[in-house]
Amino acid sequence: MILEVTGEQLAQLNDTDLRTLVGYLCEREMRSHGHAASAVTWGGHQNAADGGIDVRVALLAGAAIAGYVPKAATGFQVKAQDMPRGAILQEMAPGGAVLPRIIELAANGGAYIIVSSQGSLSDTSLRSRKAAMAEALRGLPSASSLTLDFYDRRRIASWVNQHAGLVPWVREKLGLPLSGWRPFEDWSSSPAPVDTSYLLDAKIRLVGPSIKDVDGLTAEQALAMLRGILVKPKGVVRLVGLSGVGKTRLIQALFDDRIGTEALPRSDALYTDISDEPDPVPQEMLSRLISMGHRVVLIVDNCGIELHRKLAAKVGNSDCLLSVITVEYDIIDDEPPNTDVFKLEPASPDLIEKMLDIRCPAIASPSRHVIARFSEGNSRVAFALAETAKNGESLSKLNDTDLFERLFRQQKATSAELLDAAKACALLYSFDGETLEGDNSELVSLAKLAGQTVDQLHKHVAELHRRQLVQKRSQWRAILPHALANRLAKRAFEDVPLQRIENAIVTGSSARMLRSFSRRIGYLHDDERAVALAAKWFATGGLLDHLGKLNTLGVEIFENIAPVSPAATLSFIEEAAAKSEDWFFDDENDNKAQILRVLRSLAYGSDLFGRSASLLQRFVLNEPLGKHHSAVEPLKSLFWLYLSGTYASAAQRTAFIKSLLEGVAAEQEIGLTLLAEMLKTSHFSSHYSFEFGAWKRDFGFHPEDVTQVRDWYAQVIELARAVGTSGGGLSDRVRRMMANHVADLLRAGMLNEVIALATAFTGDSGWPEGWIGVRNAMRRGKGKFAEAAFKELEELEQRLRPGNLAGMIRSHALTPEWSALEIADLIEETALKPLEARQKIHDLCAELGQQLVGNDQQFAALLPEIVAADSPKTFELGRGLATGCLSLAECWSRLRDEFLRLPEGNRKAQLLAGFLTSAMVRSSGETESLLDEVLFDSRLHSYLLNWQACAGLNGKAFERMMRALAIDTVPIFSFHLLANGRAHEGLDDEQLRLLLQGIIRRDGGNRVAAEILGMRVFGRRSDKLPISESLKATGREFLARVELEEGAHLDHMIGEVIEVAFDKPEYEDQARAFCARISEPIGSRRVYAWDVAEIIAALTKTFPHIVLDMLVEQAVGEDGLGRTLFQDIRGYRACPLDAVQEDVWMAWAAQKPETRYELLARVLRFSNAGDEDHAKGWSPAAARLIDVAPEPAKVLDAFLLRFRPSGWSGSLADTLATRAPLIEVLKLHSKAEIAGWATNIAPQFAACIDRERAREAVEDRARDQSFE
């Protein structure tokens, strides 16, 4: 095994390495038992003990420990030599005197263990060694308290192989390193030794969406955060940053215990660089580590985003102890799932100078300063420049061009040909550096641009690689760092005619080269030729004409070159939109997602903010409400105080919102959404990219002090004041929004502004929402506000407190439900449970309704407001109106007329529902008449069933509903209300049957009838009540008529009905007919597994042989449908066939043994896990089927065909490998035919896995080792 070592290999370690290995092993044991690794010391350690013990474990007395470290106090004597009896006696008791350290261990009830890498002992020899150890202690009073043991090389190897992370370290020491895999060492290839101190930078170095502090973290803070993530199992981190900024060196520092606390153990580290072409590839290595169950921190450098996603998914979907960190220089607009993503910023000039001072002390301070400025925080560039001045030459007088020449030349002879080669290659973000001829050779095209032969260009690329100006991944090459590549590309544009570049790359046959070229152009915003080329592509008839309908290559090029000229890109989008307004802003735009990303980036500057935001807003206007991945999300992000990605001022943003609030209703909705975003005061987090080509960008506007924060919210409050005092529905919504944010604004220090806003909002109608908001802020801020501030809040609360009936109604009955607990607590200073508080408020609302209807003047004044209010508490207000009014008919007439004055989309039925609820109690006859009026008024038909259900299903309700079924303007979906709660219980079983017959005859009635009948059955069964034969008969009638619908989610309710309707053998024919009816839509794919899973489960419970006959024998035998059906069901829930008793399917199979056993093997779950999961042994049914089948080979062959899943994520080879034990276990089967089958198939299946693994490795390597 690649992650195992042998005793023979360990025998080659020297004393020092063997001692270190045992120390690492002991540290691993400590952590696996929940102890600190600091309990272990060994030779070379500053706290190490001496006196005959090389590795010492010192835990507190009584600490739980076992295994290879058997006692809390354990000492190891480590020898890279054989230890026979004489050597043992001399080691433990030289001259007959037991060593003091061993005496100490015995006194503490500890353990003493001799480790010998040369010994490989039989049981007899081992007993002899241990007897010698006991002999050395003869005469020691506490000898019996000391545990003795002897570890030979085989036992050490077993110990090491339990900790796979140490295997690469051992192999490295033996000169047998894993191909491309390395233990902890100098991964960064820096000129300093691996133990050189890591220099900390006071500047912010780490930023990213996973950091709560929007300012980012210093290097020391970054180390602490990354360690905290990676020390936990399944921690996944992605670290990105430009080439040369020190990403790999930062990773090394995670394992440096001299910096901060809780450094990661070096023995946990397993590192690879994709450019080293590791074997096995990272995915395969990760799979092996997971299967072995070891603790490792896996580091994958130069890891592309697709590989990272696969590694993260594999870790997330497994129960493992691993953590993973991937490193990459390519910063893309992506946030992979289950991953903490961070970006490492370039170092500060001060840190670069400090590093140069340590590593290149001969360079004078002025020269160090020039190098630090030119390198722009890139240590690789800085060190390369420093190498050119080690002879003491001053660089302080050189300009940037001179410095670039020195960086490129690196103390070697000037070569114009090498420079020409570099310029040509830099035009591409990356290039194929190995394919020398043929249509796919990129070197052929680049050689023409360089004016060289392919062989000459290949030689120059190799030289650039030796100078560390080209990086290599498999066949791919890239000029790095980007600062150098961009400068070279500009020189290429200067020196090579543009027409030649276009002929070689743009109009050539290689889409990959064109894509890569466009990425390079995206970094050249300060080059007029690159800007001109982008403009040419944007022009009518250009490469990117028809934005919105670009293919995959075209839209990638669009995103790549968008940063070259932001203003031109924005104009291009505007022109494309103007030409195709009929589809550009909706989902017919094939490039919508990419355009949205670009627009958000274009909004960075205040000059382009308004136009960019306007385009985003137009996308939002054309989307359905609640759309997934809505354009409103990037638009909202532009209106945050932090992490907005724009430098638009608060005034610009509020002006944009104001224009929306002055627009049509849809625009007002967007405006309200954005206003709420500007009111946010905490929990800022962004997953958006802030990179845009080579532009130097940050997170956008970031208030530098409290004054800027106050100015932000002051402008938002002023906008809210203007809109909130303008009157109308929009005004009311803004007033409610501001009330919800009172507590947040007060925490932001806006007390005076809130008081002024409250004064403006109070007016004649008061500000009931604000009163609740202030009260909420007082409760949450008690003890946190200054005394004077809290006193002002108390005074404000008193001014806002409702003092009349209208104010009480607005505060209590027209406010959202969430305020109930706050008001109840205000009314009565006792702690109430939430439900008690809610009931208290509901009772108060009903009382207020009685008071209101008793004052006709106030009733008339408030009537429009209470009818239009969108609060569930108006139901209780309506109950009070019905209880207190003089005439039910007159009061109803006023409520109904006001209700009908509202636009249909704004009508809220709960006030009138509450009225009818209490009206029925007060006078059932009058209320029946009112409901009859509703039946005859088509304007109210949409609300009839709601109001009828609230009034109850007694009296004339059944007759009224039956009549309603015959009226087309009564929506069939409104009958669904009868399934809610226990509304249907007002109907007897016969009435329900007749009603369901009418419902199912209406279009769309299937779903409604299923829900009502299913709830009726479910309720009876839940209450353990008998189900009448009449209801069962209704169920059978329903099943004879119901039509299955895709996505209707009816299977649960229909399943409930099946279990009671088909409860006797005499209903077999009806059950069989139903099964035949559902087979047709399943076979024609009108419905899918998730539409019928519980239906089939219920049929299997009631008539399993029907399911076997029709959905196994007929369906599987004819077209394989049944196999697919049960396989699909198993994908997300229990398989219905699992419920079939063994004796049932065995008897069924025995009737036609020549076919049915094999058919069962096609559908039964073969593993204790689902078919598509990793196998966990044969399922009981599969094992039994194999045992009893008259021709087991046929059954086994059928199972074997299913071992390859129809779909999978991750590695197919890994999935197949979990099936191999199913075959292996059958080799020992008592039946010779079965054992023979397994013996024959096992090597074939193993070879199949190996082929698949090899194929995956080739694909993975080709994909993972690309720069793009």
> Could you report the per-residue pLDDT of 239-266, keeping only the tens digit for each?
988 777 788 888 998 988 888 888 898 8
pLDDT: is 607 or 347 the higher one? Answer: 607
Count CA atoms closer than 13 A to 192's CA, side-chain side. 17
Q: State pLDDT tens for residues 118-145.
A: 877 787 888 899 999 999 999 899 999 9
- Pair 823, 763 in one domain: no
**Residue 1061 domain-assigned?**
no
The residue-averaged pLDDT of 667-673 equals 96
Q: Residue 763: what pLDDT?
A: 75
**952 token code pair:** 């109850």
- Pair 209, 93 in one domain: no
In this prediction, residue 899 has a pLDDT band, given cuts at 50, 70 and 90, of very high
- Pair 148, 185 in one domain: no
**Residue 854 domain-assigned?**
yes
- Pair 814, 776 in one domain: no
- Pair 199, 105 in one domain: no
pLDDT: is 390 or 724 the higher one? Answer: 724
The answer, yes or no, to whether residue 378 has pLDDT greater than 80, is no
- Pair 77, 121 in one domain: yes
The answer, yes or no, to whether residue 1 has pLDDT greater than 60, is no
User: 1192-1202 and 1180-1188 helices cross at what angle (nearest 10)?
Assistant: 150
Other Cβ atoms within 10 Å of 993 Cβ, number: 18
In this prediction, residue 58 has a pLDDT band, given cuts at 50, 70 and 90, of very high
pLDDT above 90 covers a percentage of the chain that reads 55
pLDDT: is 535 or 1078 the higher one? Answer: 535
The torsion defined by the Cα of 395, 401, 405 and 408, in degrees rounded to 10, comes to 110
* Residue that finishes a domain, picked among 479, 510, 541: 510
Q: State pLDDT tens for residues 770-791.
A: 888 888 888 877 778 888 888 9
The residue-averaged pLDDT of 666-678 equals 96
**Residue 171 domain-assigned?**
no
Strand partners, 1178: 1167
| Phi, psi torsion values for 1235, nearest 5 degrees | -60, -40
Burial label, 691 (beta-carbon count in 10 A; 0-12, 13-18, 19+): middle
Count CA atoms closer than 13 A to 744's CA, side-chain side. 16
**Residue 1014 domain-assigned?**
no
The residue-averaged pLDDT of 1061-1075 equals 93
pLDDT above 70 covers a percentage of the chain that reads 93
- Pair 374, 341 in one domain: no
Q: Look at 253-257, 347-351, 1037-1041, 1171-1175 and tell me which has the smallest mean pLDDT.
A: 1171-1175
The residue-averaged pLDDT of 1118-1145 equals 76
Q: Which of 52, 68, 45 is nearest to 159 (CA)?
A: 68
pLDDT: is 1174 or 1252 the higher one? Answer: 1252
Alpha-carbon gap, residue 462 to 457, rounded angstroms: 9
**981 token code pair:** 């709660």
- Pair 74, 210 in one domain: no
Report the mean per-residue pLDDT for the chain.
88
> Contact 640/677 with Cβ under 8 angstroms?
yes
Q: State pLDDT tens for residues 982-991.
A: 888 889 999 9
CATH code where residue 465 lies: 1.10.10
Q: Residue 821: what pLDDT?
A: 47
Q: Which of 571, 726, 605, 712 is nearest to 661 (CA)?
A: 726
Q: Residue 1046: what pLDDT?
A: 77
- Pair 449, 468 in one domain: yes
Centroid of chain to Cα 635: 22
C-alpha dihedral sign at 825, 827, 828, 832: negative
The answer, yes or no, to whether residue 851 has pLDDT greater than 80, is yes
The residue-averaged pLDDT of 704-725 equals 95
User: 729-740 and 706-724 helices cross at what angle (nearest 10)?
Assistant: 150
Count CA atoms closer than 13 A to 404's CA, side-chain side. 15
Q: Residue 391: what pLDDT?
A: 59
Q: Which of 208, 440, 198, 442 is nearest to 331 (CA)?
A: 208
Work out the angle at residue 289's Cα, subtended by the Cα atoms of residues 286 and 290, and round it to the nearest 5 degrees.
Answer: 85
> What is the residue range of 367's domain?
351-409
In this prediction, residue 1169 has a pLDDT band, given cuts at 50, 70 and 90, of confident
* Number of residues that this document lists for the chain: 1268
Q: State pLDDT tens for residues 911-960.
A: 999 999 999 999 999 999 999 999 999 999 999 999 999 999 988 999 99
**Residue 1260 domain-assigned?**
yes
- Pair 1245, 1176 in one domain: yes
Contacts of 225 by beta carbon, 8 Å cutoff, 6+ apart: 206, 211, 217
The answer, yes or no, to whether residue 1211 has pLDDT greater than 90, is no
Max mean pLDDT among 651-655, 734-738, 1262-1266 falls in 651-655
* Residue that finishes a domain, picked among 345, 372, 400: 345
Alpha-carbon gap, residue 152 to 125, rounded angstroms: 10
- Pair 210, 77 in one domain: no
The answer, yes or no, to whether residue 77 has pLDDT greater than 80, is yes
Q: Residue 1125: what pLDDT?
A: 77
* Residue that finishes a domain, picked among 311, 345, 379: 345
The residue-averaged pLDDT of 1071-1093 equals 84
Q: Residue 193: what pLDDT?
A: 59
Q: Which of 1056, 1029, 1046, 1023 is nearest to 1092 (CA)?
A: 1046
> Contact 385/406 with Cβ under 8 angstroms?
yes
Alpha-carbon gap, residue 795 to 802, rounded angstroms: 14
The residue-averaged pLDDT of 1152-1161 equals 92
The answer, yes or no, to whether residue 1110 has pLDDT greater than 80, is yes
**Residue 1267 domain-assigned?**
yes
Q: Residue 172: what pLDDT?
A: 85
Answer whether the bond into residue 481 is a cis peptide, omega within 30°: yes
The answer, yes or no, to whether residue 49 has pLDDT greater than 50, is no
The residue-averaged pLDDT of 471-497 equals 90
**Residue 576 domain-assigned?**
no
DSSP H or E stretch at residue 35: none
The answer, yes or no, to whether residue 694 has pLDDT greater than 70, is yes
pLDDT: is 206 or 502 the higher one? Answer: 502
Answer whether the bond into residue 1221 is a cis peptide, omega within 30°: no
**Residue 125 domain-assigned?**
yes
The answer, yes or no, to whether residue 831 has pLDDT greater than 90, is no
Q: State pLDDT tens for residues 1226-1238.
A: 999 999 999 999 9
- Pair 869, 759 in one domain: no
Q: Which of 408, 401, 435, 434 is nearest to 422 (CA)?
A: 408
The answer, yes or no, to whether residue 1085 has pLDDT greater than 90, is no
Q: State pLDDT tens for residues 270-325.
A: 999 988 888 888 988 888 888 777 789 999 998 888 889 889 988 988 888 899 99
Task: Count up the domains in the chain and report the number.
Answer: 7
Q: Residue 276: what pLDDT?
A: 84
Q: Is 951 helix (H, G, I), strand (E, B) or coil?
A: helix
The answer, yes or no, to whether residue 212 has pLDDT greater than 70, is no
The residue-averaged pLDDT of 1061-1081 equals 91
